[in-house]
């Protein structure tokens, strides 16, 4: 039913724990089961330096969290935020069809922890989110001309400087 890699990551999960004063944090609960993950990241020079997590879940959720933590180490923030459940499942040697939904928690928590870090980062302190790709939303008070050529955080969020909102 499970691959050797899944069973290894379940029996010997990597990077379990908490990072005190983490640069980014997220808690994600499953919409399907009672699975829950708390994920912490430490960032150095724009890359994931350390990932720790605490997970309550099934074999697939625990193994996926362990693998996600390993895959994320050393990735730039945008690469970590783009890590998918499919990539995690593939790195584990696959998951049974009825357990694939369990592999989404850790990548989702990683993405949210990166977003948490970016919200707190001094580099983004004077930037506000304008829209998410595909949603067409704008931050209240912005004009179309104010959102051209905006920097992106790599997560699909466009930003505009506070000064553009004041004008």
Predicted confidence (pLDDT) per residue in 2-43, tens digit: 999 999 999 999 999 999 999 999 999 988 788 999 999 999
- The torsion defined by the Cα of 35, 92, 6 and 30, in degrees rounded to 10, comes to 10
- pLDDT greater than 60 at residue 150: no
Looking at the structure, do residues 36 and 91 belong to the same domain, yes or no? yes
Domain that holds residue 150: 126-166
Instruction: Judge if 113 and 133 occupy the same domain.
Output: no
The answer to whether the beta carbons of residues 72 and 31 sit under 8 Å apart is: no
Query: What percentage of the chain carries pLDDT values higher than 70?
Result: 72
How high is the pLDDT of residue 33?
A: 81
Per-residue CA distances from 76 to 7, 138, 141, 150 (Å): 28, 27, 32, 20
Identify the pLDDT of residue 143. Answer: 46
Do residues 50 and 102 share a domain?
yes
Q: Which of 120, 135, 150 is the last residue before a domain boundary?
A: 120
Are 112 and 30 contained in the same domain?
A: yes
Count: domains in the chain: 2
Q: pLDDT of 38-48, one tens digit each?
A: 999 999 998 99
Q: What does the CA dihedral 153, 49, 112, 151 come to, rounded to 10 degrees?
A: 0
- Among the ranges 58-72, 73-87, 116-130, which has the highest mean pLDDT value? 58-72
The three-state secondary structure class of 87 is helix
Predicted TM-score (pTM) of the model is: 0.75
Are residues 137 and 74 part of one domain?
A: no
């Amino acid at each position: 039913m499970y691959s050797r890699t899944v069973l290894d990551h379940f029996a010997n999960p990597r990077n379990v724990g908490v990072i005190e004063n983490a640069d980014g944090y997220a808690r994600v609960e499953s919409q399907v089961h009672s699975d829950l993950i708390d994920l912490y990241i430490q960032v150095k020079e724009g890359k994931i330096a350390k990932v720790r997590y605490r997970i309550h879940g099934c074999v697939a959720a625990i193994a996926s969290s362990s693998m996600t933590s390993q895959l994320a180490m050393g990735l730039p923030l945008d690469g970590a935020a783009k890590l998918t459940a499919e990539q995690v499942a593939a790195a584990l040697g696959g998951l049974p069809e009825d357990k694939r939904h369990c592999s989404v928690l850790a990548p989702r928590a990683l993405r949210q922890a990166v977003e948490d870090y970016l919200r707190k980062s001094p580099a983004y302190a004077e930037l506000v989110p304008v829209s998410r790709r595909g949603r067409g939303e704008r931050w209240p008070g912005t004009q179309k001309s104010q959102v051209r050529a905006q920097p992106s955080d790599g997560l699909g969020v466009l930003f505009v400087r506070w000064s553009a909102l004041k004008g």
